[in-house]
Amino acid sequence: MYGVVRMVTNMIENLKEEEKHLYKVLQSNGYDNATIMAGSKELPSKDHTDSEQEKSLILTIPYIAGLSETIQRVCRDFDIKTAFK
């Protein structure tokens, strides 16, 4: 929840007010301080490199005996996964 507040709120003063409000709301709903503080830590961003995106390519083609396997072997050389319909 704190991550959403940080994305939506653009000014530092507003961010502090929103975090205080969220803390009070969570406390009033029965969350203990340790849980609230654990949830308020900023998570590391997940940066995807170009090589990771290339490896996730999937080609879906209809199955034709003899031809589909050949296409699959060629695609494998370029790290493209092949699925048949």
Query: Which pLDDT belongs to residue 2?
Result: 46
Exposure string over 26-65, b if 16+ CB within 10 A, otherwise e: beeeeeeeeebeeebeeeeeeeeeeeeeeeeeeeeeeeee
Choose the weakest-confidence range: 12-16, 26-30, 65-69, 70-74: 12-16
Query: Which pLDDT belongs to residue 24?
Result: 87
Query: Which pLDDT belongs to residue 50?
Result: 52
Using pLDDT thresholds of 50, 70 and 90, give the confidence band for residue 1. Answer: very low
Average pLDDT over residues 59-85: 89
| Spatial contact of 58 and 51, defined as CB atoms under 8 Å apart | no
Using pLDDT thresholds of 50, 70 and 90, give the confidence band for residue 47. Answer: low
Whole-number Å distance between alpha carbons of 51 and 79: 10
